[in-house]
Amino acid sequence: MMKILNIIKAGFYDKSKQFAILMFSILFLFFIYYGASAALVPCGYGVGAPCTLCDLLVMVNNIVNFLTAISISIATIMILWGGFLLLMAAGNEEKLKSAKSVLTTAIIGLVIVLVSWIIINTLIVFFGSSSGFPWPWYQINC
């Protein structure tokens, strides 16, 4: 019986490495897609396209959205990893405590990221809008 448990434990570590490689590969592909889909700086491409204050606000908004997308991706991977650890704890109190810690930290981090995104985008739109509060509230219209 102990020999079987040792084989399972050895396979667990190999599977956890494979899971980590798979998650980081998916995250890397997400970065490539998101980075190629939109430019961070919305002005200055042509001779007659000077940058304005509104373009600066759009750039800050693009950077915040990019960092928010990265943070949500990392939090999702950490929640999946915590769930995986929770399933593999098999009644071991130490591993169970570690898995709960990973899940709690990832969820708290996700809540902090989302609340900060709402606050930052509301301030950017409030200071960047000259025609009252626009709809949708998270987009800047120059």
Answer yes or no: is 93 within a domain: yes
Residue type, 33: Y
Does 105 reside within a domain?
yes
Q: How many domains would you assign to the chain?
A: 1
- In a domain, residue 115? The reply is yes
**Is 130 a member of any domain?**
yes
Residues 62/40, Cβ–Cβ less than 8 Å: yes
Residues 6+ apart with CB under 8 A from 119: none
- Kindly report, residue by residue over 1-39, the tens digit of the pLDDT: 555 555 555 555 566 677 777 777 776 766 666 655 556
Is the pLDDT at 140 greater than 90, yes or no?
Answer: no
In-domain check, residue 72: yes
For residue range 38-80, list pLDDT tens digits in order: 566 667 666 566 777 777 777 887 888 888 888 888 899 889 9
108 falls in which pLDDT band (50, 70, 90)? very high
Structural domain of 109? 52-142
Task: DSSP for 60-87, please give it.
Answer: HHHHHHHHHHHHHHHHHHHHHHHHHHHH
CA atoms within 13 A on the CB side of 42: 15
In a domain, 20, yes or no: no
CB proximity list for 46: less than 8 A, separation 6 or greater: none
Length of the chain: 142
pLDDT at position 134 is 57
Q: Answer yes or no: is 38 within a domain.
A: no
In a domain, 75, yes or no: yes
Shortest CA distance to 15 belongs to which of 96, 7, 98, 104? 7
